[in-house]
Amino acid sequence: MAVPPLAIVAVASADITKVLGAKWLPAADALQILCAVGIARGLMVLTGPLMRGLGRSRAHGALGWAHAIPSAISIAVAAYWYQDAANAQQASGIAWVRALLFACVFLPINWAILAALSHVSVWRLAAAMAPACAAGLIGGACFAGTTPLLHSLGVPESVSTMVGLAAAGTAALIVLAIADAELRLQLTSLWVHFRRERTRLPSEG
């Protein structure tokens, strides 16, 4: 569930930082990259519970150290490399290092472990993640299409950003509800409960 909102924030990063103020504008690129890192982390979320459930706690601890040590080294190297650069370049540089580490090292290793322990192919794992990724893409596209239209109509930037985020979130939720039967069932249950409570209140009054 973390993938769609992070994808939307990545697309909306420039608009969000504008709303926060001029001093936040240099952080737009770093925010976008870190959202990509968050998406990668979301795609790795099943590895830990599976390893612990199979009694591989020591292996899971070792995997945690295998993540932590390269992360610390990469941040230190990037900080040294960009020490004389502007703040925006430093933030973007460190974010890029994190993104490359997750995309090229952590994500493939975690998916390989997940596939080996669960006896499920990487392609089936990717297919399971497809609805969330599709929701993120459609939500991001919705934001990218909504905000320029509102800007052209003279809507204030802060309002257009909030409306765009709301529209993107709604579009992503609709896609997830269509693709995920369990989520659709939960949403239906919530709606029935809401309608039941709404009809009960007047009768109690």
Question: pLDDT value at position 123?
Answer: 78
Taking each helix axis from N to C end, the angle separating 3-20 and 28-43, rounded to the nearest 10 degrees, works out to 170
* pLDDT tens-place values along the chain, 205 residues long: 678 898 999 999 989 888 888 788 878 888 888 888 888 777 777 788 888 888 888 888 888 888 888 888 888 888 888 888 777 777 788 888 888 888 888 888 888 888 888 887 777 777 777 888 888 899 999 999 999 898 888 889 889 999 999 999 999 888 887 876 665 566 566 666 666 666 665 555 4
Is 135 within 8 Å of 169 (Cβ atoms)?
Answer: no
* Nearest 10 degrees: Cα torsion 81, 86, 87, 89: -60
Around 62, how many Cα atoms within 13 Å sit in the side-chain half-sphere? 7
DSSP-derived 3-state class of residue 45: coil
Is 97 within 8 Å of 105 (Cβ atoms)?
Answer: no
